[in-house]
Amino acid sequence: MNTNKSKTKIYCNVSNHDITKKEFKTIQKRMHKNIENDGLIQNQEKFLFEGEKLKDVIEKDKIYLDSVSITFEQIAGRLETLIEKFYHMENLHYSKTKKLQNNYIIEDKYEINYDDKQNFNRQCPFQNVELDNIYYGYSHYGKFSIINLQNKKQIQIDTVQIHMIKCHNFFGGPKSSQRL
């Protein structure tokens, strides 16, 4: 962690509790914009819309999760496990066929589809790339669709969203179609 008080410490590996009000406002401004990186639009939609406050969104989600005895880490961990199983299946399939496939049934319960045609390379808005330029999602640029085969419910997610849930307790803004 940066100990120089004259510099900001907006790193992806800093707890929300260690982020100052001023830094939260800077992060919130990033979330209200479409951020560009290397000339590519990273997200087709904002993380937060005008009028949505980052701290309020995180606090409301925490209250809800506490009420149902689930943690952000449990949700992120489960999503990471499903994505890891997807990649494992993809590696097995490729080693046998030398072809890639974009969908697999995982645990006989989930159909996971991977769309790499969206060029969906997002950067974590909590990150200050001038001080911390590590990419905190997986190195793939697509989006996953996870369908529960029992109840037909579906979520769409990219790996930066999993990172934001796990590290920043952020599912997305209430008005965002990207909200989990």
| pLDDT at position 10 | 52
Q: Is the model's pLDDT at 68 over the cut of 80? A: yes
**Residues with Cβ < 8 Å from 180, sequence gap 6 or more?**
75, 155, 157, 161, 165, 171, 172
Report the number of distinct structural domains present in the chain.
1
- In tens, the pLDDT along 6-33 reads 355 555 767 788 888 888 888 888 888 7
9 falls within a domain: no
What is the Cβ-side half-sphere exposure of residue 22, based on CA atoms within 13 angstroms?
3
| pLDDT at position 13 | 65
| pLDDT at position 112 | 96
| pLDDT at position 116 | 74
1 falls within a domain: no
Boundaries of domain holding 85: 17-168
10 falls within a domain: no
174 falls within a domain: no
Which residues partner with 146 through β-bridges? 112, 155
First vs last Cα of the chain: how many Å apart? 29
CA atoms of 33 and 80, how far apart (whole Å): 27
CA atoms of 32 and 15, how far apart (whole Å): 21
- In tens, the pLDDT along 80-93 reads 999 999 999 999 99
What are 102's two structure tokens? 């974009």
Per-residue pLDDT, averaged over 152-174, amounts to: 90
3 falls within a domain: no
